[in-house]
Amino acid sequence: MRHNKAGLLTRSIGLAAVGVLALSACSGGGTPEKAPEKETGTPTESAAPQEPVNISYMHRLPDGDGMTKISELADQWNKENPNIQVTATKFDGASAEMLKKLETDINANVGTCLAQLGYAEVPEMFAKGLAVDVSEFADQYKSNFEGTSELMRVGDAVVGLPQDTGPLVYYYNKAEFEALGLTVPTTTDEFIEQAKKSAEAGKYIVAFQPDEVPNWLSGQAAAAGSSWYNPVNDEWVVTVTDEGSERAAAFWQELLDSKATAVHERWGESFGKALNDGEVIGTIGAAWEAPLLADNMAGTANEGQWAVAQLPDFGAGALTGPDGGSGVAVLKGCEFPEQAMEFNNWLNTQVDALATQGLVVATSVGVPSTPEAISAFYGGQDVLAELGEANKRLSPNFSYMPYFSTIHDPMKKAASAAADGTGKVAEIFTAAQEQSIKSLKDAGLPVAE
């Protein structure tokens, strides 16, 4: 549920809560920790403290009904590890608000030790000096996170351990596809062909989602082979409008021009309604969409009809891109990073518990069994195994620049224009390119033009 995935209601309530948060931030709300005093002992001494150490941890996982609550996991850990006591706090609100709270708390010396950060937010939090390098404690856990440990890497630093991933996959209504004589597309050409066929029958096998483009479309560009932010000679070389992006743009432009795609805001009411009414019978979405879609369509004729497939080939082979996902990072001011990482590793390898939160776990120690409710919605499919396969296909070339969140707004505006025909899809990437360079410059980071 990484970035902004809390849904409209929670998001708006989060907004309302901002004033309260601002106050609680001032008064030292959140989880108070001892004021960070410099350790006088050597690192080996602090490794085996006599008194139990206290680790605070803030997350924004859903903690819904029927899920294993994060605080329950913390209780379990606390029982088993009397020397390392963890306090878990759930943050209700949008990710950007949580980042601000973390920043304010850290500056006031009352920050938490561990916090959930989206992968697109990690470079930013590191550049701001809020997430710290813990590579000396992280290396020993690397084998538990094969292929995903890089997600929490920033240059030479490692700031924590990954928790879940959001590879893009394709969700579709199997029964509708059979009824309309459609096949599940494996390439973008096939996709366009099937989309046109389906549109003739008044149904759409995909929806363009302007409010979701920043991570959704960048993920598709990644699947098409893009690499937007490249360190060359210690400078950022920004290539948002590269070949991969062009391929992704051409794909959507064709779908929009031929009216073969529906257009819906992902987080408005209309998308859910279109799904329920059977107007939209397929969607390109991140792995974390699996439980959300099931939830959106609970109790309708759609139940048991849907299925998950790999993202079609966007022109770069069996590759997919990231759309969200997050890890648990160690933050500045954390007194006991080593112990924090010990808990971090344990937490992120609790595969079954994390799966109940709707997460596609990043750890390689085991594949969780698909929760029954999810499997029932997807016609008995082993959904998590399919999503695990998508994990393996994640593009290794795509990474985010610091301050990636500043390009969201220009991308969304351009996407809205593309959706209503007043602009082109390619302009979404042009807007992202311009804002990327501007933001890096404004932040005082080296950028090549």
Partner 1 sequence: MATQQLPPSGAKTPAKLVATRGRAEAKEARSGRLFVAPFLIMFTVVFLIPMIVAIRQSFFTKKAAGGGLFGGGEAVDVFVGLENYAAVVTDTRFWAGIGRVVGYAAFQIPVMILMALALALVLDSFLTRHVTIYRLGFFLPYAVPGIVAAMVWMYMYTPEISPIVKGLSALGLDVNFMGENMILLSMANMTTWTFTGYNMLIFLAALQAIPHDLYEAARLDGATGFQVTTKIKVPMVRGAALLTVLLSIIGTIQLFNEPTVMATVNPWMGNDYTPMMMAYNTMLGQISPGGDGPASAISIVMALIAGGLAVVYALLQRKKD
Residues near partner 1 (CB under 8 A): 8-9, 11-13, 15-16, 18, 23, 96-97, 99-100, 103, 123-124, 126-129, 131-133, 154-155, 157, 210-211, 231, 234-236, 265, 267-270, 273-274, 402-403, 405-406, 408-409, 412-413, 415-417, 439, 442-446
Least distance to partner 1 from the beta carbon of 212, Å?
Answer: 9
Nearer to partner 1 by C-beta: 274 or 284? 274
Nearer to partner 1 by C-beta: 70 or 131? 131
Question: Using CA atoms, how far apart are residues 198 and 212, in angstroms rounded to an integer?
Answer: 23
Nearer to partner 1 by C-beta: 103 or 313? 103
Least distance to partner 1 from the beta carbon of 8, Å?
Answer: 6
Nearer to partner 1 by C-beta: 390 or 428? 428
Closest of 344, 357, 352 to residue 81, by C-alpha: 344
Question: Using CA atoms, how far apart are residues 170 and 176, in angstroms rounded to an integer?
Answer: 15
- One-letter amino acid at 93 equals G
Nearer to partner 1 by C-beta: 353 or 419? 419
Closest of 414, 441, 445, 444 to residue 430, by C-alpha: 414
Nearer to partner 1 by C-beta: 18 or 180? 18
Closest of 32, 108, 99, 17 to residue 60, by C-alpha: 99
Least distance to partner 1 from the beta carbon of 75, Å?
Answer: 32
Question: Using CA atoms, how far apart are residues 347 and 327, in angstroms rounded to an integer?
Answer: 11
Return all residues near 130 (Cβ < 8 A) that are at least 6 apart. 102, 103, 106, 331, 332
> In terms of C-beta density within 10 A (0-12 exposed, 13-18 middle, 19 or more buried), how is residue 43 classed?
exposed
Least distance to partner 1 from the beta carbon of 127, Å?
Answer: 5
Return all residues near 34 (Cβ < 8 A) that are at least 6 apart. 54, 335
Question: Using CA atoms, how far apart are residues 134 and 123, in angstroms rounded to an integer?
Answer: 14
- One-letter amino acid at 161 equals L
Least distance to partner 1 from the beta carbon of 406, Å?
Answer: 6
Least distance to partner 1 from the beta carbon of 167, Å?
Answer: 24
Nearer to partner 1 by C-beta: 36 or 379? 36
Burial 194-214 (b: 16+ CB within 10 A, else e): bbbbbbeeebbbbbbbbbbbb
Residue with tokens 């709707």, as numbered in its chain: 358
Nearer to partner 1 by C-beta: 203 or 408? 408
Closest of 98, 58, 5, 70 to residue 287, by C-alpha: 5
> In terms of C-beta density within 10 A (0-12 exposed, 13-18 middle, 19 or more buried), how is residue 133 classed?
middle
Least distance to partner 1 from the beta carbon of 290, Å?
Answer: 23
Nearer to partner 1 by C-beta: 288 or 403? 403
Give yes or no for a contact between 192 and 358, defined as CB atoms under 8 angstroms apart. no
Nearer to partner 1 by C-beta: 132 or 384? 132
Q: Rg (Cα) of the chain, in Å, rounded?
A: 22
Least distance to partner 1 from the beta carbon of 81, Å?
Answer: 29
Least distance to partner 1 from the beta carbon of 137, Å?
Answer: 16
Least distance to partner 1 from the beta carbon of 155, Å?
Answer: 5
